[in-house]
Amino acid sequence: MESKAESSSRADVVETVRQMIQQHARLSVDVGGLSDQDDLFAAGMSSLATVSVMLGIENAFDVEFPDSMLKRSVFQSISALRAAVDQLLSDAAR
């Protein structure tokens, strides 16, 4: 069971990921109208915009995506990006 701090932290990660998508993904729809599982590519995110989103997330969380995470599935949805950020933050804490 996750603690209240972990739950709050996850909400913060999702909110920051959503902000980065809003700022960098150049979607044809409002990010606020997307669920965490919606396909960002179907919503209009291009491969070029994916790079901008990645750089925004790297700056926001002070992490770096390794080559092994540079695949479409990692950037497919808000929930996939949140999981990637959680993993990067966990790895950085070690």
Q: Which CATH architecture has domain 19-27+35-93?
A: Orthogonal Bundle (1.10)
Whether the predicted pLDDT of 10 surpasses 80: no
Give the pLDDT confidence score for residue 88 in this predicted structure. 95
Q: Alpha carbon of 71 to those of 3, 49, 65, 76: distances in Å?
A: 31, 14, 10, 9
Q: How many percent of the chain have pLDDT more than 70?
A: 91
Q: What is the pTM of this model?
A: 0.88
pLDDT digits (tens, 9 = 90+) for 43-65: 999 999 999 999 999 999 999 99
Ordered alpha helix ranges (H), the chain:
4-24, 47-61, 78-93
Identify the pLDDT of residue 11. 80
- The average confidence (pLDDT) of the chain is 90
